[in-house]
Chains A and B, each alone.
Chain A
């Protein structure tokens, strides 16, 4: 049995893990119910809400640790916090108890997830390295020559790659098949991703999503991808007509669907079928500013989730210890 500061530290980690699991389960149950309502918000609000959702297990867990941190004194606030939630035997930790097992499982899960992330980043780096070794990559004349490049390939495609120094790539097939104004729309769209550092933030977001069950993880990632694409689409409308942007989107999607026979075996991106539709619809009728009441309600939901988790950590602790060893 451990006592003193080490026991307090390990108990606080147990608090964090318990809170983390509760929030993750709670949000996994809520996300399918609220997902469609996200469309009612503007881009900035949606982005903030998505980031809040994916990071909430971390900061709510930290909040619970802060509340359950042992404090000296008999002040009103301390007594009130003790009433709301407390962790009995915070200065005692039995390694062979359920707390010890929880810590080991959490450490293993975290190590596995970090490993998965590294493997995925490495796999992408290898794919990118292979792509550039086998392709003829040239800067596009008249564009930002440090950022916009063409790849010699008949398949039409345009994308932005790079975590810290993102770059835009358009295939020669795309450049040849589209009019100059459409090419400019695509370049402006991709440059919007570069300015927003979307590849980097998508990676960080994807790491936070890893801890959610697969269906929820997919939904959250799809929503974030859609949002970054819609934001990039919107930024192009500052320079081009929104209907031209929508038309270019449909044209490119159609061309990509009609890939040459030599590309038939290629795996295709699994955007849900309405991603293109949603982007076009958004370009045709942009969202209006979201009302303050909706934002306040969303904030209230997060507050309730935090307080619910705080009270549940304590109750769950008591419940488990009814059956298991301290």
Chain B
């Protein structure tokens, strides 16, 4: 997922505010950076299309809410940079301690733990 600097600032603002329209976002984020209202509207629209914001129409204005909270987005970004063999990005630059192991079920994990426990018992008997 690609996010521009302004998109990140807008997201961070919407994580702190429950809901805001383009004018409010512009007043807080845009003016200090010298961005026009039009730029802020485009940024909000881009985030909406990326499915990171939801919006409701109230009168003539759209009110935006963060659809994804900070934790979930960071979790997604970590998964993006740690994904080794996903279809879209087989080329990983990272090394992760353990994968999510979605393919292993409880029984298989129990089996592994049993193996470790057996080794411990065997070792204590030999000692």
Contacts and interface: CB of A to CB of B under 8 A. Distances in A.
B35 interface: no
A226 B69 CA distance: 33
Interface of A: 117, 120-121, 123-124, 126-128, 130-131, 133-135, 151, 153-155, 157-163, 171, 186, 189-190, 193, 198-199, 202-203, 206-207, 217-218, 221-222, 225, 228-229, 232, 243, 246-247, 249-250, 252-254, 256-257, 259-260, 262-263, 265-273, 275-277, 280-281, 284
A269 B115 contact: no
B90 A217 contact: yes
Interface string B1-27: 111010010011000000000000000
Contacts of A155: 71, 74-75, 78
A157 B96 contact: yes
A130 B96 CA distance: 18
B84 A257 contact: no
B109 A250 contact: yes
Contacts of A124: 81, 89, 91-93
Contacts of A256: 98-101
A159 B94 contact: yes
A250 B81 contact: no
Given A154-B71, A159-B97, A199-B95, A243 B79 contact: no
A242 to B, nearest CB: 9
B101 A158 contact: no
Contact of A263 (B75, B80, B85, B113): B75
Nearest to A244: B116
Contact of A284 (B8, B85, B103, B116): B116
B83 interface: yes
Contact of B78 (A153, A186, A217): A153
A302 to B, nearest CB: 26
Nearest to A281: B115
A260 B99 CA distance: 15
Interface in B70-127: 70-86, 89-104, 108-109, 112-113, 115-116, 119-120, 123
B95 A271 contact: no
Nearest to A122: B2
Contact of B73 (A134, A218, A221, A269): A134
Contacts of B99: 253, 256, 268-269, 271, 275-276
Q: Which 10 A/B pairs are nearest by Cβ-Cβ distance?
A: A273-B103, A271-B99, A268-B100, A158-B97, A193-B95, A120-B91, A131-B77, A253-B101, A269-B99, A159-B96
Nearest to A262: B72
Interface of B: 1-3, 5, 8, 11-12, 69-86, 89-104, 108-109, 112-113, 115-116, 119-120, 123
A250 B78 CA distance: 20
B91 A250 contact: no
Contacts of B89: 120, 123-124
Contacts of B91: 117, 120-121, 124, 203, 206-207
A75 to B, nearest CB: 47
Nearest to A152: B74
8 contacts: A130-B2, A157-B96, A158-B97, A221-B84, A253-B109, A259-B100, A266-B76, A280-B112
A91 to B, nearest CB: 41
Nearest to A128: B81
Contact of A268 (B11, B77, B79): B79
Contacts of B108: 273, 277
Contact of B90 (A193, A206, A232, A276): A206
Nearest to A171: B78
Nearest to A270: B85
A126 B78 contact: no
